[in-house]
Chains A and B, each alone.
Chain A
Amino acid sequence: MSQAHSALAEQFRDLEQQREASSLGMWVFLVTEIMFFGGLFMVYTVARAMHPAGFAQASRHLDVTLGGTNTAVLISSSLTMALAVYASQVGRRRMLAGFLALTIALGCVFLVIKAIEYADKFHHHLVPGSAFSFAGPEARPAELFFSLYFAMTGLHALHMVIGVGVVLVVLVKAWRGRYTIEYHTPVEISGLYWHFVDIIWIFLFPLLYLIGLKR
């Protein structure tokens, strides 16, 4: 029986049970997030099945290089987050803080690239609404595509902003030495969230950027 730890809540037998309960709770939340994004993926699937040509044409207006770069940036940020969790497990405070800071930096790079892309869409009148303009008979399906593009990437970007905020809080606490080999659950839990947001982008990238490339 381990000694009572200051982070141990009284309803748990020990820190191990507490950690497993926290992790399970986070996964239950992530399942609700799967359903949250799942609704949008469902609408996308139906709309694309109805307008395959319009969606392919509209997709060609997205910048694959920027989208691909962002995919690499997010995958790299998942690596630094995973390494941060490792650092917390072996109790290396400076390494933990360093990888958390790197994760935040990569998250910000992603958001900056996303902002550049959004600005470009405004500039080219590809934002749905009264200013939307798209040449050819597929203008309506194209507008539908861009509505979904902004809804899905916008919701994803919102998750990124929240993720950066969460990791920032964990970074401050890590720097102050709040986490030890025995107790570092918040690092792990925020890691689960970060990786989940990465998984959403892994599906968004081919569905939004790559469907109009073949000739």
Chain B
Amino acid sequence: MPEHIVPPKIYLVICGILLVLTFVTWGVALIDLGPWNIVVALSIAFCKATLVALFFMHVRYSPRRTQLVVVAGIFWLGIMILLTMSDYLTRPWLTS
């Protein structure tokens, strides 16, 4: 796969979106959404991380095997967090 050159304009647009999302996550944190605050904050962070990976880190233009490694890394992190939390959150005497 020949090297893909991303035009600087795309980098500038992505950077702009990332800065706007930083202000959005700051603003949303001031509003009381109950348990949804953390969901919104992490969703925005995940969107920002995805943009950085896809464009700044060129995952979008990388070979499939590189993309597979990236997705596998996130998948394994997901397994760790999901299984650990399914244990802790079903022991009410710990979190009450």
Contacts and interface: CB of A to CB of B under 8 A. Distances in A.
B45 A214 contact: no
Contacts of A89: 3, 5
Interface residues of A, number: 49
A17 to B, nearest CB: 10
Contacts of A198: 52, 56
Given A19-B3, A195-B52, A213 B29 contact: yes
B19 A46 contact: no
Q: Chain A at the B interface: mostly helix, strand, loop or mixed?
A: helix
A76 B84 CA distance: 35
Interface stretch (A80-88, A110-118, A129-137, A158-166): A80-88
B62 A23 contact: yes
Interface in B10-45: 11-12, 14-15, 18-19, 22, 25-26, 29-33, 37-38, 41-42, 44-45
Contacts of A71: 22
14 contacts: A31-B70, A34-B73, A35-B73, A49-B85, A49-B88, A50-B88, A72-B19, A79-B15, A192-B57, A195-B52, A198-B52, A203-B49, A211-B37, A213-B30
Interface of B: 1-3, 5-8, 11-12, 14-15, 18-19, 22, 25-26, 29-33, 37-38, 41-42, 44-45, 48-49, 52-53, 55-58, 62-63, 65-66, 69-70, 72-74, 76-77, 80-81, 84-85, 88-89, 94-95
